[in-house]
Amino acid sequence: MSKALPTRSENYSEWYNELVKRADLAETSAVRGCMVIKPYGYSIWEKMQRALDDMFKETGHQNAYFPLFIPKSYLSKEASHVEGFAKECAVVTHYRLKADPNGNGVIVDPEAKLEEELIVRPTSETVIWSTYKNWIQSYRDLPLLINQWANVVRWEMRTRLFLRTTEFLWQEGHTAHSTSAEAVAETKQMLEIYAQFAEEWMALPVVKGVKTANERFAGAVDTYCIEALMQDGKALQAGTSHFLGQNFATAFDVKFQDKEGKLEYVWGTSWGVSTRLMGALIMAHSDDAGLVLPPKLAPIQVVIVPIYKNEEQLTLISDKVAPIIKELRKKGISVKFDNNDAYKPGYKFAEYELKGVPVRLAMGARDLENNTVEVARRDTKTKETVSLDGIADFIATLLDNIQVSIYNKAFAFREENTVKVDTFEAFNEILDTKGGFILAHWDGTSETEEKIKEETKATIRCVPLDSVEEEGVCIYSGKPSSRRVVFARAY
């Protein structure tokens, strides 16, 4: 093993960067801002994808695939949309290379210039709505409930693995409806699905809310979001669901004939989560020894490490664990038996701690005698010696308990770090000490929101869906306010 990870208290940011690399999740590539997702990291992402995809399909959505490239003119059709994305677009201008006449490899062939430049999709509303125009004629064609798993590119100036990368992987749902109410219901349904996924799979409690106008998706009427709290007291937006109104239908002239024969613009939604969720997962639960993974997303849920002095002992241990492995796999639990002779048990323990394997079993000579095994939990780092009788059931239950326990810990952390604040002084003090979610009154204007951001770097994460009406005054302007919003510094 190389030297220990930086600790979270020492340098949270370095701890994160090092952890992502050392746990074999991802690394930077030769292409500025683009990452390589390594097999271990990708297998977590695959589990996320499978769970989300099942949830999308259960709610009637189908997958499809739309082009990577968007003609430049399409992007311009929705005014606020292009304004939001123009500054971060990768642009394809040519379609051929040729040998450099000076003999230095290849150059772009100036004769192969595109008539109209193509944008590498930063998101696909424009190309999808231009397609929907041909798919939708009548109310019978609605609702159209489509999702796409894809890569997208946004040219970011400052990038960090998973959290903000030039290219990232995501899913983007794009639905079309005959009424505003139905589109709003879809927007909210998908927000609920994201929240459910975050809580049940990622063990990550989230606040559901609505973005302010400032933080809205470029082209949306309303943006709903889920916001999670990281261990350093900063917020992370984990997913968004947008009610698009008739904005894209108008821009791309997508109309339908209703039951009375009247032509009307279609109502739309879009919603997405990305590999950013990987960043949230890592930062929410992990500790100074490495990753802590909720069992439902762990590529290896149980590792078994034999502790032996000779070949004969290893054989006895292997024979002993073989039926246990079989029984665990039958229960759908992923198990690895690490009998690699090149490494000592201590090295293996540290490695699986770093990789966040939820349960580690160690079996040695004494366990063989006593018909026991040592069971170690990654999340609490506790160990106990357990009888092999009924061990598979014991482990299945333990994995369920760990899943709940990781959630509870994150939930307790968020509760401790969510405070109501009534003065700008107290607001600043909290931000500069423990951070977290700050519930405060705000006068509802973009002006105040921007000033607070300028002075404190804190933004309004959302107006929580469960916020209660409450008379108060804005912490900044002193003007009246009727409900608290959630402020935080954010990723």
The gap between the terminal CA atoms of the chain, to the nearest Å, is 31
Q: Nearest Cα to 325, choosing from 312, 334, 315, 314?
A: 334
Quickly tell me which residue has 């024979």 as its tokens. 319
Establish if 347 lies at the interface with a copy of itself (CB under 8 A). no
Choose between 142 and 392: whose C-beta lies nearer to a copy of itself. Answer: 142
Nearest distance in Å: CB 293, a copy of itself: 17
Stretch that binds a copy of itself, among 95-103, 260-268, 329-337, 469-477 (CB under 8 A): 95-103
Pick from 1, 97, 181, 404: which binds a copy of itself (CB under 8 A)? Answer: 97
Contact map string, positions 33 to 62, toward a copy of itself, x by CB under 8 A: -xxxxxx--xx-xx---------------x
List, in order, residues 6 or more apart from 7 with CB less than 8 Å away. 15, 288
Choose between 33 and 239: whose C-beta lies nearer to a copy of itself. Answer: 33
Give the separation between CA 224 and CA 46, rounded to whole angstroms. Answer: 25
Give the separation between CA 122 and CA 83, rounded to whole angstroms. Answer: 13
Please check whether residue 124 is in contact with residue 244, taking contact to mean a CB–CB distance below 8 angstroms: no
Stretch that binds a copy of itself, among 73-81, 176-184, 200-208, 311-319 (CB under 8 A): 73-81
Establish if 93 lies at the interface with a copy of itself (CB under 8 A). yes
Give the separation between CA 183 and CA 171, rounded to whole angstroms. Answer: 19
Helix axes 276-285, 12-22, angle to 10 degrees: 110
Nearest distance in Å: CB 445, a copy of itself: 27
Pick from 1, 4, 31, 404: which binds a copy of itself (CB under 8 A)? Answer: 31
Establish if 300 lies at the interface with a copy of itself (CB under 8 A). no
Please check whether residue 167 is in contact with residue 29, taking contact to mean a CB–CB distance below 8 angstroms: no
CA 57 to chain centre: 19
Establish if 334 lies at the interface with a copy of itself (CB under 8 A). no
- Residue 73 Cα distances to 30, 37, 119, 131, 135, angstroms: 31, 33, 10, 15, 21
Establish if 82 lies at the interface with a copy of itself (CB under 8 A). yes
Give the separation between CA 99 and CA 91, rounded to whole angstroms. Answer: 22
Quickly tell me which residue has 């690490």 as its tokens. 338
Pick from 19, 52, 142, 153: which binds a copy of itself (CB under 8 A)? Answer: 153
Establish if 329 lies at the interface with a copy of itself (CB under 8 A). no
Nearest distance in Å: CB 167, a copy of itself: 5
CA-based diameter of the chain, in Å? 83
Establish if 74 lies at the interface with a copy of itself (CB under 8 A). yes
Establish if 64 lies at the interface with a copy of itself (CB under 8 A). yes
Choose between 183 and 278: whose C-beta lies nearer to a copy of itself. Answer: 278
Establish if 1 lies at the interface with a copy of itself (CB under 8 A). no
H or E stretch at 255? strand 255-257
CA 461 to chain centre: 16
H or E stretch at 384? strand 383-387
Establish if 130 lies at the interface with a copy of itself (CB under 8 A). yes
Binders of a copy of itself among residues 167 to 196 (CB under 8 A) are: 167, 169
DSSP state of 6: P
Establish if 70 lies at the interface with a copy of itself (CB under 8 A). yes
Contact map string, positions 229 to 268, toward a copy of itself, x by CB under 8 A: ----------------------------------------
438 exposed, middle or buried (CB, 10 Å; 0-12, 13-18, 19+)?
Answer: buried
Pick from 17, 18, 47, 71: which binds a copy of itself (CB under 8 A)? Answer: 71
Instruction: By CB under 8 A, name the binding residues for a copy of itself.
Output: 27, 29-31, 34-39, 42-43, 45-46, 62-76, 82, 86-99, 105-106, 108, 117-120, 127, 130-131, 134, 140, 146, 150-151, 153, 155, 167, 169, 342
